[in-house]
A and B are shown apart, each in its own frame.
Chain A
């Protein structure tokens, strides 16, 4: 009984979360430029998608920005979290306060101010500026995810490993790192999600032919979202789902193996 209730609850919440995605998938096969009544099945948006260099280029930039921003912010964020954890000085509070600001400031303010800064510094808008901006708003979330992990570590875990004969490298990778890994992965996951979804900050810091999917989609708004974008989302969503299923099958097998 309890199980039925539980599955029902999961089913409802997943329906809520996935309903709009199903709509996108359905409309990617609709033979009309308008997201209105059904006008017949077609694959033409998929064909047109692969002919549209600008959408593919936006996809390429979206991914490159997300991957670079996630990698850099995860590494820098983790190292900085370790430093913050060791901070005993009065510096710690202002440091954390400053770190929380991008979380608190409305996106549009971050975007405008970063743009002003880049102009003031005479930087040309492009891939570099947009990546800097993404790193800036991603690191705080990584730190917020990793820091609590350090805070819960036994005080001298690293030194204990050294005393027991581990090299510093071993002590870090074999003892310390596995302890903070869940925080690091969730930080990276949040960073990736934020980067791939950001429109406002990207809009102000992009330029010179570099634009991501959000900017492309937003600028289409006046003319109506082109179904090519629905087709692209369907493909991306499909890839993620296939991956997830593959990984899940593997881990289920792994568990049976252990049992």
Chain B
């Protein structure tokens, strides 16, 4: 492949510098300012924005966001891993069809799908009526923690399924057959071969679910009814409603730092870069 030189990646490198690095530096810079007045050229450097975030009220929000995101990620994994295995057991063209069927709902607008969930979950909705028939009276799932987590699972599930499916597909069936021939039972085969080989897919799927879940504000707003504020809501509020971009930037920086730390740990586990599943389709 020596015919290709690395400089063909440079134009996009320049693009990234302009549209990713510069804006990011602006956020970093903003997060260290207090009430700047740019027109007058007045701004003071401060750590106040970070200090403000160390308030128990905000830390509680951060804790809640992480808790919900972790629960959503685990549920996605519990559904997606066996499902990925089932899809693998289908004939080739059926696999593609099944994967496409799982993606298509995402082409219907995200907000609309979430509104539709609100209809389904409300006290007079189908799910409550079904539960009512089973003897649970008057259960309204809408505006509960469960609804928020369900929204996360629903919206980010495909991001978990695709990388897991891809990594499972990469496993050579001969390897599994060889293991059986050599006397491995199902459990041994799973723990010693399947799980380690699909680990990169699991880790990148988990990251792809965890990251949007931890910073979402639309899902918690719509399905939580404003009762389960997350750190994403706090950021949105600072930027949009309160016009306090400095504090908003500081919160974003804290969130990003933690995400990078988590990512570092994920890399330690797999020893690989983030991989969204190159073998898909």
Q: Which residues of A contact B (CB under 8 A)?
A: 6, 9-10, 13-14, 16-21, 23-24, 27, 35, 37, 76-77, 79-89, 91, 95-96, 98-110, 112-114, 116-117, 132-133, 136, 139, 141, 144-149, 152-153, 155-159, 162, 168, 182-183, 185-186, 189-190, 193, 196-197, 199-200, 213-214, 217-218, 221, 225, 229-230, 233, 236-237, 240-241, 244, 248, 251-252, 255
B57 within 8 Å of A by Cβ? no
Q: Given the interface contacts A9-B86, A182-B279, does A17 sit within 8 Å of B102 by beta carbon?
A: yes
B187 within 8 Å of A by Cβ? no
Q: Given the interface contacts A105-B24, A106-B252, does A193 sit within 8 Å of B112 by beta carbon?
A: no
> Which of A6, A214, A252 is in CB contact (< 8 Å) with B89?
A6
Q: Given the interface contacts A98-B21, A213-B109, does A148 sit within 8 Å of B279 by beta carbon?
A: yes
Q: Which residues of chain B come closer than 8 Å to A24, judged between CB atoms?
A: 108, 112-113, 116
Chain B contact residues, majority secondary structure: helix
> What are 9 A-B interface contacts by the 8 Å CB criterion?
A14-B101, A24-B108, A80-B9, A109-B256, A114-B19, A158-B3, A159-B1, A183-B278, A197-B109
Assess the A218–B111 pair: CB atoms within 8 A.
yes
> Which of A13, A82, A197, A244 is in CB contact (< 8 Å) with B104?
A244
Chain A contact residues, majority secondary structure: helix
B70 within 8 Å of A by Cβ? no
In the complex, what distance in Å separates the CA atom of A102 from the CA atom of B163? 19
B4 within 8 Å of A by Cβ? yes
What per-residue 1/0 map shows which CB atoms of B145-174 lie under 8 Å from chain A?
Answer: 000000000100100001000000000000
> Which of B20, B113, B256, B274 is in CB contact (< 8 Å) with A21?
B113
In the complex, what distance in Å separates the CA atom of A152 from the CA atom of B113? 38
- A108-B252, A186-B162, A248-B97 are known contacts; what are 18 more A-B pairs with Cβ within 8 Å? A6-B89, A76-B12, A77-B12, A80-B9, A82-B4, A83-B4, A88-B6, A106-B215, A106-B235, A108-B215, A139-B15, A157-B1, A185-B281, A186-B280, A189-B280, A190-B276, A230-B112, A241-B104
What per-residue 1/0 map shows which CB atoms of B240-267 lie under 8 Å from chain A?
Answer: 0000010011001001100110010000
Q: Given the interface contacts A107-B215, A218-B111, does A193 sit within 8 Å of B103 by beta carbon?
A: yes
Task: For the complex formed, measure the closest distance between the CB of A114 and the CB atoms of chain B, giving whole angstroms.
Answer: 6
Assess the B112–A225 pair: CB atoms within 8 A.
yes
Which 3 A-B pairs have CB atoms at the shortest separation, nearest pair first? A83-B9, A113-B23, A20-B116
In the complex, the chain B residue whose C-beta lies closest to that of A95 is B13
Q: Given the interface contacts A193-B107, A225-B115, does A106 sit within 8 Å of B19 by beta carbon?
A: no
Q: Which residues of chain B come closer than 8 Å to A16, judged between CB atoms?
A: 154
Q: Which residues of chain B come closer than 8 Å to A199, judged between CB atoms?
A: 110-111, 218
Q: Given the interface contacts A199-B111, A251-B93, does A144 sit within 8 Å of B274 by beta carbon?
A: yes
Task: For the complex formed, measure the closest distance between the CB of B253 and the CB atoms of chain A, giving whole angstroms.
Answer: 9
Q: Which residues of B contact A (CB under 8 A)?
A: 1-13, 15-24, 26-27, 79, 82-83, 86, 89, 93, 97-98, 100-117, 119-120, 124, 154, 157, 162, 211, 215, 217-218, 232, 235-236, 239, 245, 248-249, 252, 255-256, 259-260, 263, 273-281
Assess the A96–B273 pair: CB atoms within 8 A.
yes
Q: Which residues of chain B come closer than 8 Å to A116, judged between CB atoms?
A: 23, 26
Assess the B235–A145 pair: CB atoms within 8 A.
no
Assess the A182–B232 pair: CB atoms within 8 A.
no
In the complex, what distance in Å separates the CA atom of A11 from the CA atom of B106? 18
In the complex, what distance in Å separates the CA atom of A213 from the CA atom of B237? 23
In the complex, the chain B residue whose C-beta lies closest to that of A155 is B1
Which of A104, A132, A189 neighbours the largest number of chain B CB atoms within 10 Å of its CB?
Answer: A104
> Which of B8, B27, B275 is in CB contact (< 8 Å) with A113?
B27
Assess the B109–A79 pair: CB atoms within 8 A.
no
Assess the A99–B16 pair: CB atoms within 8 A.
yes
Task: For the complex formed, measure the closest distance between the CB of A186 and the CB atoms of chain B, giving whole angstroms.
Answer: 4
In the complex, the chain B residue whose C-beta lies closest to that of A241 is B104
Assess the A237–B112 pair: CB atoms within 8 A.
no
Assess the B154–A9 pair: CB atoms within 8 A.
no
Assess the A109–B9 pair: CB atoms within 8 A.
no
Assess the A21–B276 pair: CB atoms within 8 A.
no
Task: For the complex formed, measure the closest distance between the CB of B239 and the CB atoms of chain A, giving whole angstroms.
Answer: 6
